Structure 1
Amino acid sequence: MAEQLTSERLFVILRECAGEDDAAASGDNRIDMEFTALGYDSLALLEATARVSREYGVEIPEEALADVKTPGQFLAVVNPLTAG
């Protein structure tokens, strides 16, 4: 079984893709905050998706992410792909 993407790793990737040094928000609730509220735009999300795809060896269909608005939803879409 492949390694699962953790919320901590996702936030590191998002920060690096957005060119930020520190998280836009901290704490446990940020997993349920919308990307826009966290300060991440669609370009940062696209770059993060491509990076996760490369690092975890999964193909993430664009349509699977169409309604994804939070990091928690992103993990719910990506992690089942890493298991298969």
Structure 2
Amino acid sequence: MTVAVFTLDDLQRILIGVAGADEGIDLDGESADTLFTDLGYDSLALLETAAVVSREYGATLDDEAVTAVTTPRDFVRLVNDSA
């Protein structure tokens, strides 16, 4: 099964849905390399995001790998590498 390519826009949409984050954050800009903690996201938000990603994209994400990523760009890479 081929998993659709996961993008920063997909991540932003899901983060907003699960964490109720500020919609003003643009992950396509410099924020893509900003630490999740600096963007206001904790490990729980990332784990909830990973659960949604698993359901929507069929990606299998290890909890330890999810909590080890530190930036949105790294999270996107993790999802796409899991395909």
| Superposition TM-score, scaled by structure 2 size | 0.84
Query: Which residue is 1:62 aligned to?
Result: 63
1:1-84 correspondence to structure 2 within 5 Å: 1-20=2-21, 22-23=23-24, 25-26=25-26, 28-82=29-83
Amino acid at match of 1:74: F
1:42: how far off?
A: 1.6
Unmatched 5+ residue regions in structure 1?
Answer: none
Unmatched 5+ residue regions in structure 2?
Answer: none
Provide the rounded CA distance (Å) in 1 between the counterparts of 2:8 and 2:52.
Answer: 15
Q: Is the 8 A contact 2:46 2:66 kept in 1?
A: no
Residues matched between the structures, number: 81
Amino acid at match of 2:46: L
Report the aligned-residue RMSD.
Answer: 1.6
Q: Is the 8 A contact 2:33 2:72 kept in 1?
A: yes
- The percent of aligned pairs where both chains have the same amino acid is 43
Runs of 4+ in 1 over 4 A off after TM superposition: none
1:21: how far off?
A: 5.4
| Superposition TM-score, scaled by structure 1 size | 0.83
Q: Is the 8 A contact 2:50 2:66 kept in 1?
A: no
1:75: how far off?
A: 1.1
